[in-house]
């Protein structure tokens, strides 16, 4: 799945995962989990993530390759947050060539507004938005009762930098996958259900 920060990649990836019964693999979630557990990967990744930069390719490539090799991925997977540059895309072609690449696009002003309202569960990583998709009780996850927080990298300064990184590093992948005839572009604006319907329609054509 391609799409800038806050385009709704994670939310739509969960829907796709439930619909097609394939695992949702969020590289950002895997990395945050490593940071929380202070693993070697986590220690190396933390400062890059805090600054809204990409974590070095070797680390994320190795982590993604290991994850896709697990049994639950035998019948497919939805990968969210990888690849994020051309080097990663070329590596992915070797160990997990995608059948379809979904590109969620949306206006930059909407992305900033969404990031400001985004809250994430510290335990199960479910994502909410205080205006468009709030939890029933403020700061408490509906799914597991965990605490909801704003990610440090969703603060406005960092998100602006993440958007620049996206433009420079990840946007070129659109061309890469158009050339390979794999890209389906879907407008990510509006409600979650409406976007998901567009995603399903795009998969049919």
Q: For tokens 């468009």, what's the residue?
A: 132
Binding to ligand AMP (CB under 6 A): which residues in 25-44?
A: 27-28, 31
The smaller minimum CB distance to ligand AMP, of residues 60 and 148, is found at: 60
Out of 1, 13, 14, 60, which residue is the one contacting ligand AMP (CB under 6 A)?
60
Out of 16, 25, 54, 92, which residue is the one contacting ligand AMP (CB under 6 A)?
54
C-alpha span between 68 and 28 (Å, rounded): 15
CB atoms within 10 A of CB 128: 22
Of 91, 74, 73, the closest CA to residue 82 belongs to: 91
Of 114, 101, 112, 105, the closest CA to residue 163 belongs to: 112
Element (H, E) at 103: strand 101-105
Out of 81, 111, 173, 196, which residue is the one contacting ligand AMP (CB under 6 A)?
81
Out of 153, 163, 166, 173, which residue is the one contacting ligand AMP (CB under 6 A)?
153
Out of 3, 4, 5, 188, which residue is the one contacting ligand AMP (CB under 6 A)?
5
C-alpha span between 180 and 142 (Å, rounded): 41
The smaller minimum CB distance to ligand AMP, of residues 101 and 153, is found at: 153
Partners of 149 in the beta sheet?
Answer: 120
3-state secondary structure 18-29: HHHCCCEEEHHH
Is 120 an interacting residue with respect to ligand AMP (CB under 6 A)?
A: no
Provide, rounded to whole angstroms, the least separation between the CB of residue 50 and ligand AMP.
8
> Would you please indicate which residues are annotated as catalytic (active-site) residues?
9, 84, 118, 151, 162
The smaller minimum CB distance to ligand AMP, of residues 82 and 196, is found at: 82
CB atoms within 10 A of CB 115: 23
Interacting span for ligand AMP (CB under 6 A) from 69-77, 82-90, 131-139, 185-193: 82-90
Interacting span for ligand AMP (CB under 6 A) from 16-24, 36-44, 52-60, 179-187: 52-60
C-alpha span between 126 and 37 (Å, rounded): 18
CB atoms within 10 A of CB 90: 12
Return residues touching ligand AMP (CB under 6 A).
Answer: 5, 27-28, 31, 48-49, 52-55, 60, 81-82, 84, 88, 153, 162
């Amino acid at each position: 799945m391609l799409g800038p920060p806050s385009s709704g990649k994670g939310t739509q990836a969960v829907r796709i995962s439930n619909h097609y019964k394939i695992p949702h693999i969020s590289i950002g979630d895997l990395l945050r989990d490593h940071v929380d557990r202070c693993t070697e990967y986590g220690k190396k990744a933390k400062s890059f993530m805090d600054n809204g930069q990409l974590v070095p390719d070797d680390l994320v490539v190795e982590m993604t390759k290991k994850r896709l090799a697990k049994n639950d991925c035998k019948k497919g997977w939805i990968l969210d947050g990888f690849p994020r540059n051309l080097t990663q895309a070329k590596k992915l072609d070797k160990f997990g060539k995608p059948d379809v690449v979904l590109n969620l696009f949306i206006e930059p002003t909407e992305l900033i507004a969404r990031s400001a309202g985004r809250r994430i569960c510290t335990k199960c990583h479910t994502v909410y938005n205080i205006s468009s998709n709030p939890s029933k009780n403020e700061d408490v996850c509906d799914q597991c009762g965990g605490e909801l927080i704003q990610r440090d990298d969703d603060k406005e300064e960092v998100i602006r930098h993440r958007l620049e990184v996206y433009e420079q590093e990840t946007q070129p992948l659109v061309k890469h996958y158009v050339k390979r005839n794999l890209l389906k572009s879907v407008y990510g604006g509006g409600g979650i259900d409406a976007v998901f319907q567009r995603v399903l329609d795009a998969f049919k054509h």
